[in-house]
Amino acid sequence: MWKSLALSQFNANVTLLIVYAPLAYFNLIEQHSLETKDLPTPFSLALTILFCMMCEDFTFYFSHRFLHWKVIYPYIHKVHHQHKVSIGIASEYAHPIEYTFGNLLPAAIGPMLLGSKMHTVSVFAWYMVRTGETLDGHCGYEFSWSPYRLIPFSGSAEYHDFHHSENVGNYASFFCVWDNFFNTN
C-alpha cells in the first residue's frame, strides 16, 4: 500500500510541476472566472459538469484503450493493473506517463475547452465529481446508493472490477456508451 501511496503522491506533485506550471508560466491556460457575478446557477453547474463528463469519458476511453495496446501495455499501463482487485488507491496508482496523458489530460479537457466561460467553483466541483467517480469505480464494492449509478448509461464498480480482473474491455470511465459502440464490453 505504501508503494501505491508514494507513486500516487509523486504523480500528483511532479506532474503539476512538469505539466501545469510551464503552461501557467507561458499563459497557455485560459483563466477561469473568479467573479461573484459569474457564479453558476445549479442548472448551469449541472450542465457544465455533464459537458466535462462527456469530454473526459470520450478522451479517457481512447487513451485507456491505447494503453492496453500490447506494444506499450507492459511498460506503462501494467503498473496500474498490478491491482487485480480494485481498491481506492488503485485509481491514482499509475505510471507517470499514464497519469499525465491517461488521467490528468482527459479530466482537464472540459475545463480547458470552456476556459473563461467556466467559473472556478465549477472547476473544483468537476474535479470533485471526477475524483469521486474514480474512487467509486475502484473501491472494490458495488454501493447500491452510489450517486454515480443514477447517471444514465453509467458503469459501476462491478463493471470496472471486471476490467481489472480480466484485463480486457470496459475502457470508459463514466458511461458505457463508447464500450457498447466499439464493442469492447
User: Tens digit of pLDDT for each residue in 132-177?
Assistant: 888 887 777 777 777 777 777 777 767 777 777 777 888 888 888 8
Calculate the alpha carbon distances from 148 to 82, 137, 145 in Å.
Answer: 25, 9, 9
Q: What angle do CA 69, 71, 76 make, to 5 degrees?
A: 75
Signed CA dihedral, 109, 111, 21, 96: sign only: negative
| pTM summary value | 0.86
Closest CA to 98 of 159, 176, 15: 15
Q: How confident is the model at residue 47 (pLDDT cuts 50, 70, 90)?
A: very high
The distance between the two most distant Cα atoms of the chain, rounded to a whole number of Å, is 50
Q: Which of 25-34, 38-47, 104-113, 166-175 has the lowest mean pLDDT?
A: 25-34
Measure the CA–CA gap between 141 and 32, rounded to whole angstroms: 36
pLDDT number for residue 71: 95
What confidence score (pLDDT) does residue 52 get?
Answer: 96
% the chain with pLDDT above 90 = 34
Percent of the chain's residues with pLDDT above 70: 89
d(CA 171, CA 180): 10
The mean pLDDT value of the chain amounts to 83
* pLDDT recorded at residue 61: 94
